[in-house]
């Protein structure tokens, strides 16, 4: 998964995005609150149900106005609780259960 908008990540990884989400921009968050014709598309509902093994998260503030922490805070929360940034400072997050366990 690549959020909010990095379609080249899928091409470089030879992968397809999760159903309905090749990008997630502020207007998608607004649509989620007001869906048309029964077509639900809410990343805050769908992501917790099927968390991908890796997420490419670009914390780009869109047009210098739309901060992902505000329009998709649910994703930011999931990244902090269920994923680890690899390597620190990069845009790649790996789901914690996919990481090797350190010996106790």
Average pLDDT over the chain, rounded to an integer: 81
Tell whether 96 is covered by a domain.
Answer: no
Per DSSP, the three-state class of 83 is: strand
Mean pLDDT confidence for 78-102: 91
| pLDDT tens for each residue of 20-45 | 776 677 777 777 777 777 777 788 88
Tell whether 51 is covered by a domain.
Answer: yes
Q: In what order do the strands lie in the sheet with 83-85?
A: 2-3, 54-57, 92-95, 83-85
Number of structural domains (the chain) is 1
Mean pLDDT confidence for 74-80: 93
The pLDDT > 70 percentage for the chain reads 86
Task: Compute CA 93 distance to the chain's CA centroid, rounded to the nearest angstrom.
Answer: 9
Tell whether 97 is covered by a domain.
Answer: no
Tell whether 21 is covered by a domain.
Answer: yes
């Amino acid at each position: 998964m690549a959020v909010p908008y990095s379609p080249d990540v899928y091409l470089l990884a030879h992968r397809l995005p999760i159903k309905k989400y090749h990008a997630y921009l502020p207007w998608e968050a607004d649509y989620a609150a007001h869906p048309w014709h029964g077509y639900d598309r809410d990343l805050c509902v769908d992501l917790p149900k099927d968390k991908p093994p890796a997420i490419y998260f670009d914390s780009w503030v869109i047009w210098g106005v739309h901060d992902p922490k505000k329009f998709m805070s649910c994703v930011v929360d999931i990244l902090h609780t269920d994923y680890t940034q690899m390597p620190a400072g990069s845009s790649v997050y790996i789901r914690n259960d996919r990481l090797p366990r350190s010996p106790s």
